[in-house]
Structure 1
Amino acid sequence: MPLRPIADFLRYHARFFTGKVKISPRGQAALPGAPAGYRPFLTVARKSPTASPAAALRVTFRVHKVNFWQRTLLPYGSIPFFAGAPGFISKTYLVNPQQSSFCGLYQWESAQAAQTYIESYQGRFMRRNALPGSVSFEIQPIADKDEA
């Protein structure tokens, strides 16, 4: 099912204004699963998702220079478009200023939801704003704690 920007935007705001989404600035501590040299700076998460996370998506990309636009305006401005997407559970933003690169660590309800995100308008937007050829996407399954 393709993502729809207006529907995702409205769904996010419905979640936000009913207290179902939490936005938290993160400290400088390292995060498990993060690439070396990256520091978390923002986390967005649904408070009570309808399903457990089944897929982790890691997106990395480089920019010409880490600036106010990429560190503040773009992350906060993009939240309504991915946090309202069907299957979204959480995202942590990370930055590596020495390499002028960013990373997003997502959790999705399914690998299909993560793949849909990659192929959607959000994935295309990332490719346009990153240095050519620097965007990478990696989807990994998350083991169900009950099965482990």
Structure 2
Amino acid sequence: MTSEQVAPSVGPGEVLAAVAASAARTARLLATGRLRQPDDLVGTRLPFRDGTRSMIFRTTERDPSAGTEPSVLQVRFRLRWIGERPTLHRVFVTTCIVNTPLFAGFPGFVRKQWMVDPRTFVYRGLYDWDGADRARWYAERLRHVLALVCVPGSVEYVVVPGLGVDDVLRDGSRLQRQEPGAQDADADALWWELAG
């Protein structure tokens, strides 16, 4: 169990206030042209050690996108209600851009790679965050929002300080945690690690 999984509980009022503040900041970022969607990584497929292969379908980043305390935040979840219906997942992939205010205005946000495994319909967000503590703070609030629309127990996240997404894309093994016995762990328990 990671420290991210035992974080203190966050109340609904605090979640709502944080999301509202993020939405207001996102509106300012959009109005000033400081939020963009480069497409250079769209279509890239990343293999993970749990057997899934996630495809990047969108990138959202702030401009400028440099942080002083790089951290990678990875979130995974499975949507409730739409099951394994490819048509509904295509609709979600097209329309989920409306969720941008739920993350882009949080303190420390730098960049998000939106991903889905088209075979298993496991969704991932691979984020660059400025500051591991800020990433955890955001992830705990996001976990509560996602719980409303996700399969119970499917929302997980991991924060890896000292790395950026570009580091991970150049060398996926850098995401692997150096913990005793990690190489012997169940593959699903290593869902955040890139394979190869």
Please say whether Structure 1 and Structure 2 have the same fold, judged by a TM-score greater than 0.5: yes
Report percent identity of matched pairs.
26
**In the alignment, does 2:93 pair up with 1:71?**
yes
Higher strand share: 1
Cα gap change, 1:143 to 1:6, in 2 (>3 Å)? closer
Residue of structure 1 in register with 2:43 after alignment: 28
How far is 1:17 from its partner?
1.6
Residue of structure 1 in register with 2:146 after alignment: 126
How far is 1:21 from its partner?
1.0
Say which of 128, 150, 158 aligns to 1:138: 158
How far is 1:128 from its partner?
2.5
Alignment root-mean-square deviation, CA: 2.3
Residue of structure 1 in register with 2:120 after alignment: 99
Q: What residue identity is the alignment partner of 1:28? A: G
Residue of structure 1 in register with 2:62 after alignment: 46
Unaligned runs of 5+ in 1: none
Q: What residue identity is the alignment partner of 1:27? A: V
Say which of 17, 26, 31 aligns to 1:17: 31
Unaligned runs of 5+ in 2: 1-13, 168-196
**TM-score normalized by the length of structure 2:** 0.63
Count residues with an aligned counterpart: 140
How far is 1:69 from its partner?
4.4
Q: What residue identity is the alignment partner of 1:76? A: I
Greater mean deviation of Cα atoms: 102-111 or 21-30: 21-30
Cα gap change, 1:97 to 1:23, in 2 (>3 Å)? same
How far is 1:28 from its partner?
1.6
**TM-score normalized by the length of structure 1:** 0.82
**Bigger CA radius of gyration:** 2
How far is 1:51 from its partner?
2.7
